[in-house]
Amino acid sequence: MQRWLVIGLLVVSGLGLVAELSGDPTLCAFLSLSDEHNLPTWYASSLLLGCAIAAGAIARAPTAWKKHWWGVAIGFGYVSLDETAVLHEHLGGHIDTRGILYFDWVIWAAIALVVLAVLFYPWLRGLPPRLRRRLIAAAVIYVGGAVVMELPLGYWTDRYGDDTLGYALIDWVEETLELIGASLALAALVDHRRTAAT
Does the model's pTM come out above 0.85? yes
d(CA 12, CA 89): 23
Q: What pLDDT sits at residue 95?
A: 80
Q: How confident is the model at residue 117 (pLDDT cuts 50, 70, 90)?
A: very high
pLDDT value at 16 more than 80? yes
pLDDT value at 93 more than 80? no
Check if the beta carbon of residue 177 is closer than 8 Å to that of residue 127: no
Region 139-165: what's the mean pLDDT? 96
Crossing angle of helices 150-160 and 105-126, in 10° steps, is 170
Q: Is the dihedral of CA 82, 54, 32, 157 positive or negative?
A: positive
One-letter amino acid at 124 equals L
CB proximity list for 68: less than 8 A, separation 6 or greater: 120, 123
pLDDT value at 87 more than 90? no
Q: What pLDDT sits at residue 198?
A: 65
User: Dihedral angle at the C-alpha atoms of 104, 147, 156, 10, nearest 10 degrees?
Assistant: -150
Q: What is the mean pLDDT of the chain?
A: 94
Q: How many CA atoms lie within 13 A of 151 on its CB side?
A: 8
